[in-house]
Amino acid sequence: MYQRWIISSLSILLSIVVAACSNVATSQPQQVGTTPTVPQQTAPQQTAQRVVALTPLSADIIYRLDQNKLVGIAGNSVLNKDSRFQDITSVAQGRTQPNLEKIVALKPDLVIGASGFSDSTLKRLQELKISTLATKIDSWKALEELTATLGQKIGASPKPLLDKYQQLLGQGTNTNKNTSALVLVSRQPILTPNKNSWAGDMLNQFQIKNIAADLQGKSPFGGYVTLSPEKILEANPETIILVNAPQGSSEQEVIDGFRKETFWQKLQATKNNRVYVFDYLGLVNPGSIEAIEKAAEKLQEIT
């Protein structure tokens, strides 16, 4: 059940999470600054008053910046469980494409979607003269830039959130930063993130050496490579991080699944009981600020 879910969902979810660059593209071509601060404006610009967010992360950020500006969301397992969003109109559920009529009926002046997944919806909205923003998040820097950009667009200060991000990174210093780690996202195929992914950058931010950081492969998922058992044995990581799917198996079931692999008992990580199980949301898919915070706290434990 675990591996089947991962394989079927990665094709959709990784298109949201992983991208070749960390910029934010809008209906008006522009470049977002590389520093996570609010860009200086030379002239007053109209700020968005009614925002529809088609990703859970963008919905969470908008709500935290100014909850009164969020008028529509795309319902999913993350937001449906969050009481903050119960009274906000849902324009989609799960992996279905958003209902264009519902979006238009909300009279938004900004719609935020995910590059690669929301492209067709955003294009149609642009044709209706509705401002759109397509997001790609594959690094901590991209998260900061998105937060600063959204703050500018709705006329809210991003500083409290940016400060929170820095606090998460500064919760403690990894005293064993030379420890080698390998993240295994799925069993069939065995997928691991390189440095061009959210997960890979998370390890880097917390000074954990990702064995697969510089690997390149033919995986259909950008930022991820497939590994053979021989490659894993050759790398022989000191630490292994396994990923559990949302609403998936228990942590023990995830570990037991990998125990079936012939290489498992030969690794120093398993011999030394340095195997950790992380939730998919937060480590592989940012999901929400809360999910990122939980992943950050757990990464601090790997010392």
Enumerate the domain spans of the chain. Answer: 18-169, 180-301
pTM of the model: 0.83
Tokens standing for residue 110: 């900004």
Q: How far is CA 218 from CA 222, 223, 235, in A?
A: 9, 10, 19
Q: Which fold has domain 18-169?
A: Rossmann fold (3.40.50)
pLDDT tens sequence for the chain (303 residues): 433 433 333 432 333 233 333 333 333 323 233 333 444 433 346 899 999 999 999 999 999 999 999 999 998 888 988 999 999 999 988 778 899 999 999 999 999 999 888 899 999 999 999 999 999 999 999 999 999 999 999 999 999 999 999 999 875 555 556 688 999 998 888 999 999 999 999 999 999 999 999 998 766 678 999 999 999 999 999 999 999 987 667 888 899 999 999 999 999 999 999 999 999 999 999 999 999 999 999 998 886
Nearest by Cα to 55 from 281, 299, 296, 294? 281
CB contact set of 288 (below 8 Å; sequence gap of 6+): 56, 57, 60, 78, 82, 281
Q: How far is CA 149 from CA 79, 163, 283, in A?
A: 22, 15, 23
Sign of the torsion formed by the C-alpha atoms of 233, 234, 237 and 240: negative
Say if residues 194 and 215 touch (Cβ distance below 8 Å): yes
Nearest by Cα to 283 from 191, 193, 207? 193
The CATH homologous superfamily for domain 180-301 is Nitrogenase molybdenum iron protein domain (3.40.50.1980)
Q: What is the pLDDT of residue 95?
A: 77
Q: What is the pLDDT of residue 222?
A: 80
Q: What is the pLDDT of residue 167?
A: 93
What gap in Å lies between CA 18 and CA 207, rounded to an integer? Answer: 21
* 18-169 and 180-301 have identical folds: yes
DSSP bridge pairs for 191? 186, 226
Q: What is the pLDDT of residue 177?
A: 60
